Amino acid sequence: MSLLEVEGLDAGYGPVTVVRDAAFSVDEGKVMTILGANGAGKTTTLRALSGVVRASGSIRFDGQDIAGSSPEAIVRLGIAHVPEGRGNFASLTVEENLRLGAYVRKDAKAVREDMERCYEHFPRLRERSEQAAGNLSGGEQQMLSIARGLMLRPRLILLDEPSHGLSPLITREVFKILETVAREEGTTLLIVEQNANLVLGFADHAYVLETGRVVLDGSAEEIANDEGVRRSYLGMA
């Protein structure tokens, strides 16, 4: 059984339905990516999974139906959502942001160890631990938001455009750390990314979303070699 199984998912904002009848699944310990053009419903899909937007249909996480649950309840099951635009607490310090990532955890000692681990992954954050998050550079803010997600010690982490606004160098650095997390800690990753080249080289499996529907589904390798995908998302003829 997959860790996450989605069937017949409709999601949207108020009267507007953005995602229609989407179906996909994510296996535990794997890296999954959802590709698609702007407006295809990638972000909305992640928001439906974390309970931020209206969702109907079936979302089963570890066998439990979470469609329609509140974000506060879903995070307690071990799903971390690192939103687009990073979602940091700008007026709070870096360290406070990390502590908030572990807000629902009760194991104070392990939280401190995880904080240490985050600082090892992202030494820049340690240097700036007492600074307000709003004063960090764009790359540092992105690292902070990913680190905040990891502080939950999640079973599944939803990442929305982790490379957004980052230089190629920092992007590679961030993806290297994500790879470490996935391989060494067995965390399941679901990544939405514009940079298809980058993410297909790293994911196990990929889905292609078009106007709210899953139109293609396969191993990352198959998807990367698909003619249509190459033309539309990889910029190759």
Partner 1 sequence: MERFIQLLIDGVAIGSVYGALALSLVLIFRSTGIVNFAQGEMAMFSTFIAWALAEAGLTLGLALLGALAISFAGGMLIQRLVIRPVEGEDPLTILIVTLGLFILVNSLAGWIWGFNNRAFPQALPGGNADIGGVSLAYESLGIVAVLLVVVGLLFALFERTKIGLAMRAAAANPASSRLVGISVGRTLMLGWGLAALIGAIAGALVAPQLFLDVNFMGGVLVYSFAAATLGGFDSPKGAVIGGWIIGVAETLAGDYIGFIGSDLTILVPLVIILGVLLVRPNGLFGSPEVVRA
Residues of this chain that interact with partner 1 (CB under 8 A) are 50, 52, 70-72, 75-76, 80-81, 83, 87-92, 96, 99-101, 103-104, 132, 134-138, 141, 148, 152
Shortest Å distance, C-beta 87 to partner 1: 4
Q: Which is nearer to partner 1, 75 or 196 (CB)?
A: 75
Q: How many helices (H) and strands (E) does the chain have?
A: 10, 10
Closest CA to 83 of 190, 158, 187: 158
Q: Which is nearer to partner 1, 29 or 87 (CB)?
A: 87
Map residue 235 onto helix, strand or coil: coil
Q: Which is nearer to partner 1, 137 or 225 (CB)?
A: 137
- Measured from the Cβ of residue 192, the count of other Cβ atoms closer than 10 Å reads 24
Q: Which is nearer to partner 1, 100 or 216 (CB)?
A: 100
Shortest Å distance, C-beta 230 to partner 1: 33
Shortest Å distance, C-beta 104 to partner 1: 4
Shortest Å distance, C-beta 183 to partner 1: 25
Map residue 52 onto helix, strand or coil: coil
Where is 164: in which H helix or E strand? Answer: none
Map residue 197 onto helix, strand or coil: helix
What is the DSSP-derived secondary structure letter of residue 132?
B
